[in-house]
Amino acid sequence: KQEVTQIPAALSVPEGENLVLNCSFTDSAIYNLQWFRQDPGKGLTSLLLIQSSQREQTSGRLNASLDKSSGRSTLYIAASQPGDSATYLCAAPANQAGTALIFGKGTTLSVSS
């Protein structure tokens, strides 16, 4: 059964730092992986979707990579800002046949000014 793990659970950095959030998954036969952002008490906002045929996907200051062979994905945030403070979740499909996503427990990021 697919399991998704995110490390670290929490991260505090000063404004301007570049940072990396890590995600690992156990079943590498995935067709995509998705990163989300969640602000306190709110729903999830999709940040990036990486197809299995891609190795990277970029949106503004965000860059996500996918390495299926090692079961890992990373989310790189460049030049962090206080507005980036939120919980970041990665999610992978439960299996090849179904579309239900399995989520990691998230990394809570705090960027201080």
Partner 1 sequence: DVKVTQSSRYLVKRTGEKVFLECVQDMDHENMFWYRQDPGLGLRLIYFSYDVKMKEKGDIPEGYSVSREKKERFSLILESASTNQTSMYLCASTKPFRANYGYTFGSGTRLTVV
Cα–Cα distance between 15 and 31 in angstroms, integer?
A: 35
Among 31, 70, 78, 112, the residue binding partner 1 under the rule CB under 8 A is 31
CB of 4 to partner 1, least distance (A): 9
Stated as kind and residue range, the H or E segment containing 76 is: strand 72-77
**DSSP codes of every residue in 69-89:** TTTEEEEEE-S--GGG-EEEE
Among 49, 72, 76, 85, the residue binding partner 1 under the rule CB under 8 A is 49
Cα–Cα distance between 34 and 88 in angstroms, integer?
A: 11
Comparing CB distances to partner 1, the nearer of 18 and 45 is: 45
Tokens 């197809």 belong to: 51
Among 18, 46, 70, 112, the residue binding partner 1 under the rule CB under 8 A is 46
Residue 98 as a binder of partner 1 (CB under 8 A): the answer is yes
Contact residues for partner 1, defined by CB under 8 A:
31-32, 34, 36, 41-46, 49, 51, 89, 91, 97-106
